[in-house]
Structure 1
């Protein structure tokens, strides 16, 4: 029997081993999930809401335990791990409290005696989730999907199986029937057969662009609904009228949060030439002062990357950018210590065609790009195959709003780093994927939007 190994990226020490599910075990779990769906879809919204509130309470009461587990398995700074669990509580309670409104029938005036749209569950839904937010990414899918009457299968990243099993256990403790939420500890090779299984009706993936393309191909071949939230190279336009002190604080937060491993992290800073040098100077000072260290220490600002191979890949991207003409201002050297650490790094004079402009840099590396004027800044921001998040920093919010409306992304924020919120839809365009999560839009991705006509 094969196993997955959980390794602490800060120390490189092995934490735990988890047995992979065999093909037979996986099929059995899918069959149980489908059997459970037949009764779960008939469960009242009131009962579903009651159980979801219990799940929220379990996350709340076990916040410290879950936060420590996330930090151990993927290196997230402990304060941010706690915040992640708190966000899980928020999402669970949001859908528990608003499910009746979100799924309410929509009556349409026609020549019929009665005509309306109703929203019904589809069935067994597979979620393929990443390691960077090992609890929240899962709950962001599971809470709305399960509240609609679907049941969920989880294929989590191999390096955070402790978190995956903890989530499954939380659902059990909350009183959800067996099969409503199931963790499948399988390799990526098993995904093809899982999606093709006759009981699986849909799949959602949060991950890399190559993974998204592979899953979309399998889902398309099997005519299964899919939603993809892929990578991003989020651009933040910084106009000449900003308060540089405030903006550089936000830039620091946006680039180093979650150790720089966030799809919606601020990755490309497009700065108008009037303040380009001043921004670089102040931003460099703050990036330099941010402490890299053990993610459990109180004064640590950012910790290691999730794995050594990911750290090495990021370093290669930095080196390629420098060879292409990018200028290294800060960092850019692998530290001589244990752990998947990489220092806060700044690349300037970055232009289209360079790796740091065209690709997603998943770690604490900031790319700074000079723009002659507002129009060029917008063009540079949109010159990307990605379209997940984007932002504008300005002293004139009306000007910022006009620019935000022109940015090609699923999310455009003014004077704030992009973040997800259960009240608002979240997702991307271009190579950042399709479909939406959260809000009334996300909850309807995996339902049968059904027309009822009564003559």
Structure 2
């Protein structure tokens, strides 16, 4: 096993920086520091914690350019989208700074006791294993509620965005969080398994692939440690005959192509009813041809490379196998290194990789449905359950389908997205547990029952 690794710019394939994995001794020191910090941090007042959140928000805004550029250099996201990611992190801080006191207050319960209530006590050190596609947002939506609840956190970030993880650690330090409250560990898979089993770690939050989720859940379960899993998605975007294309086509298109298609909640499968199919396809083809590929550091770039070359290899295989099974290639399917040309596949059916699997890249898999009923049946034909989006003007009609969608989210005339005010998470092979909102800050607390008779 290599003792070091490199971060590489996916656009030009140049090495950005080399890092060395932490040694066993260094990891032990990090874990000890987190456990020791927790004993003091857990007793800090909510007002102290929220004031530090305000500091984080101010630093994010002040250093927005630096953070955004690091995201773009390490994983290739167009710079305008990287800036938006940082700005979204600011809103997250503001949300919990405003609401944490209410979320964590004791909840009075009427019983036969003189006094009974639920308190929300922190658990301890929480390990966050985070992905590269939103290298600041994914970390912050784990860390902000976790720390504000009184826990400490250790971050194992995806190795290709290590520069981002270092900046985030510095961010919390500069904001005034005590030493040991938020730390980064540079560890390989074998080391991570040992970290999860360590007595200092009380729970795990993972955002990643289904495969990674099964592995982490097995280790955590064996050690009786809670975990929250936000895994892959195969979201359907249902476009019904009465969809308002003039108002919402841009939303539909961005649901697939933003972040160069590298999002778990992206519209992976378009299910379009036959009455609007031709109009939809005409617009989609014109729009995809208008995407501008280029240096992601340029503000007018709208589509970039994938984050790594191996990801382009995987996507190419999925597309080619789907074509072999009968999908029609309408546009694209050219790749070079980490670049994958935006691609349209029509006549997509169950049994094809682009219908059954998660595709992480700018590939639109499009299926024609005869009517609304078939569209919803196709949408639910998936082992994943992260979210479904529907575009229609007949809100009364789709009310009857809401209960049929088993996903963690049901969005009407909007792309599925995470919002600090709403719980976020999936069902089935998309994982379990919730991030964000009140539910998110309660994931890593001990909901303690207090019962007093005088």
Q: CA deviation at 1:401?
A: 4.1
Q: Distance in 1 between matches of 2:279 and 2:23?
A: 58
Q: CA deviation at 1:406?
A: 2.5
Q: Distance in 2 between matches of 1:322 and 1:277?
A: 21
Provide the TM-score with structure 2 as the length reference.
Answer: 0.98
Q: Which residue among 367, 371, 374 is the counterpart of 2:372?
A: 374
Q: Distance in 1 between matches of 2:304 and 2:170?
A: 28
Q: Does 1:437 align with 2:452?
A: no
Q: Secondary structure at the match of 1:28?
A: helix
Q: Secondary structure at the match of 2:344?
A: strand
Q: Secondary structure at the match of 2:58?
A: helix
Q: Secondary structure at the match of 1:264?
A: coil
Matches within 5 A, 1:305-344: 305-335=306-336, 340-344=338-342
Q: Does 1:303 align with 2:304?
A: yes
Aligned to 2:103: 102
Q: Secondary structure at the match of 2:339?
A: coil
**Does 232-241 or 15-24 show the bigger shift?**
15-24
Aligned to 1:406: 404
The number of residue pairs the alignment matches comes to 452
Q: CA deviation at 1:273?
A: 1.3
In the alignment, is the contact (CA less than 8 A) between 1:346 and 1:368 conserved in 2?
yes
Aligned to 2:446: 448
Q: Distance in 2 between matches of 1:447 and 1:173?
A: 26
Q: Distance in 2 between matches of 1:246 and 1:399?
A: 20
Q: Distance in 2 between matches of 1:401 and 1:271?
A: 19
Aligned to 1:67: 68
Residues 256-307 of structure 1 deviation map (CA, whole Å, 9 limit, x = unaligned)? 1011000000110101111222212221111111112211122211111000
Q: Distance in 2 between matches of 1:54 and 1:278?
A: 49
Q: Distance in 2 between matches of 1:169 and 1:232?
A: 32
Q: CA deviation at 1:407?
A: 1.5
Q: Secondary structure at the match of 1:328?
A: strand
Q: Distance in 2 between matches of 1:353 and 1:18?
A: 42
Q: Does 1:186 align with 2:184?
A: no
Specify whether residues 147 and 435 from structure 1 end up closer, same or farther in structure 2 by C-alpha distance, changes over 3 A only.
same
Aligned to 1:424: 422
Aligned to 1:124: 125
Matches within 5 A, 1:106-255: 106-255=107-256
Residues 9-61 of structure 1 deviation map (CA, whole Å, 9 limit, x = unaligned)? 01101111122101110111000100000000001111111111111111110
Q: CA deviation at 1:372?
A: 1.2
Q: Distance in 1 between matches of 2:178 and 2:97?
A: 17
Q: Distance in 1 between matches of 2:401 and 2:167?
A: 43
Q: Distance in 2 between matches of 1:283 and 1:305?
A: 21
Q: Secondary structure at the match of 1:9?
A: coil
- Where structure 2 has 5 or more consecutive residues not aligned to the other structure, the ranges are none
Specify whether residues 272 and 86 from structure 1 end up closer, same or farther in structure 2 by C-alpha distance, changes over 3 A only.
same
Q: CA deviation at 1:416?
A: 0.4
Residues 341-368 of structure 1 deviation map (CA, whole Å, 9 limit, x = unaligned)? 1111011100111111000000000110
Aligned to 2:276: 275
Q: CA deviation at 1:105?
A: 1.1
Provide the TM-score with structure 1 as the length reference.
Answer: 0.98
Aligned to 1:27: 28
In the alignment, is the contact (CA less than 8 A) between 1:58 and 1:170 conserved in 2?
yes
